[in-house]
Amino acid sequence: MNQKAHEPASLPVPTADALAASAQLVAQIRDAIVAGGGWLPFDRYMELALYTPGLGYYSGGARKFGRLAQDGSDFVTAPELSPMFARTLARALAQALETSGTCQLMEFGAGTGRLAAGILSALEGLGVGVDSYSIVDLSGELRDRQRKTIEAFGGALASRVRWLDALPERFEGVVVGNEVLDAMPVQLYARTGGVWHARGVGLGETGALRFEARGLDAPGVQLSKEDAALLAQLDAEIDPNLDYVAETHGAGAAFTRTVCSMLTRGAAFFIDYGFPRAEYYHPQRTEGTMMCHYRHHAHGDPFLYPGLQDITAHVEFTRIAEVGVETGADLLGYTSQARFLMNAGITDVLSELDPADAAHFLPAANAVQKLMSEAEMGELFKVIAFSRGIDGTLDAFSRGDRSHTL
């Protein structure tokens, strides 16, 4: 993808209040750069841009999820696109709950609450009892939206939901994370002229934020053993004379390790866009996968409106699988979103609607098509799951499992 700066003139203009909040965040980031000797690793910059209390993209008050730029949102997720997603996912979660003999759910990054409400409602319809539904979300604004969304589905459902400020040491039940891993800060490395550098953030002459490279042994650069091994592998597999940008997923790996270590019985499902390692670090993907989302426009400038736009990277699922298994958890399955939903029975869920009622059936069918189509979300998005105390696999991974590609 092209990571050249996006022209602000082609994007909707933020309000004066939003720009003022962004300026406050930029001032804090500049202070952090100065304190760091004039340079911040990119993962630290990404963390500040997304999660600085009250000002970061996910910890501030900006609206994020929706269908159109006009509603103030930046992107649409599967639960927002169709209630069929939650209802189908609930079938797989129900089997995981029943097979593991557990009765608790936990969701990370619950968005507007539509997924939680849809899952709880669907499980109730399936006759599957859930004692509690815990949500872990850093955004106070999103917590309020989640509460209102869930309450709209019925007070009985809302009474089972609680919001956590800290993770329990042990958890028995089923964990869900939809589009969580892609929002974890990533490290950036750039190979230029055959030499690898850590890509971070510095200040231009006017104080503007900009990319800046440092040698791997320079002050402030912390190169992990895993990243050093990966860069050596890329040199061996990809023409060393080819300039190349690569992300690594230390935060996502640490998060996966924490969740799988916490899970004493049950399963953990993560749904996100990405690839296994061999596809992720492809010779033709020379500029990496980092991208930004603002008002339903995707672009490659992470310094445009800090705090007001999302910054993401595709998930490298091989590393996620490795760290999960290292905790002693079993790899329950890995497949495309389309195959997962098909196996879990999305066509049965859709068939509950009357095709003769075109006003309801056609929009629902079109949304399901977007969830399933290779040209939309069906192939780019993957589902990976880990388990403890579940023998065999689940129906959702019974056909088309791609674990062998990791």
The tens digit of pLDDT for each residue in 350-364 reads 999 989 988 889 989
- Residue 1, pLDDT > 80, answer no
Q: Is 259 exposed, middle or buried (0-12, 13-18, 19+ CB in 10 A)?
A: buried
Q: Is the dihedral of CA 213, 219, 225, 226 positive or negative?
A: negative
Give the range of the structural domain holding residue 369, as residue numbers without chain letter.
Answer: 78-183+252-279+314-405
pLDDT at residue 3, rounded to an integer: 39
Interhelix angle 16-35/42-51, nearest 10 degrees: 150
Q: What is the pLDDT of residues 273-315, one digit of tens each?
A: 999 999 999 999 999 999 998 877 888 999 999 999 999 999 9
As a whole number, the mean pLDDT across the chain is 91
Residue 204 gets which letter from DSSP?
-
Q: What is the pLDDT of residues 225-243, one digit of tens each?
A: 999 999 999 999 999 999 9
CATH code for the domain in which residue 167 is found = 3.40.50.12710
329 part of a folded domain: yes
Which residue from 189, 113, 201, 187 is spatially nearest to 157, judged by alpha carbons? 113
pLDDT at residue 9, rounded to an integer: 54
24 part of a folded domain: no
337 part of a folded domain: yes
The residues near 89 (Cβ < 8 Å, ≥ 6 apart) are 115, 119, 176, 269, 271, 341, 344
241 part of a folded domain: no
212 part of a folded domain: no
Q: Quote the strand ranges of 137-208, DSSP E.
A: 161-164, 171-178, 187-192, 195-203
DSSP code per residue over 80-132: HH-HHHHHHHHHHHHHHHHHHT--EEEEES-TTSHHHHHHHHHHHHHT---SE
Between the CA of residue 188 and those of 12, 20, 165, what are the distances in Å? 28, 28, 30
- Residue 404, pLDDT > 90, answer yes
72 part of a folded domain: no
Q: What is the pLDDT of residues 86-140, one digit of tens each?
A: 999 999 999 999 999 999 999 998 888 999 999 999 999 999 989 999 999 876 6
Q: Enter the pTM of the model.
A: 0.93
171 part of a folded domain: yes
- Residue 61, pLDDT > 90, answer no
394 part of a folded domain: yes
Q: What is the pLDDT of residues 153-190, one digit of tens each?
A: 776 788 899 999 899 999 999 999 999 999 999 999 99
327: its two tokens: 């905790």
The total domain count for the chain is 1
Burial 374-399 (b: 16+ CB within 10 A, else e): eeebbebbbbbbbbbebeebbebbee
For residues 13 and 74, the model is more confident at 13
Q: What is the pLDDT of residues 321-337, one digit of tens each?
A: 999 999 999 999 999 99
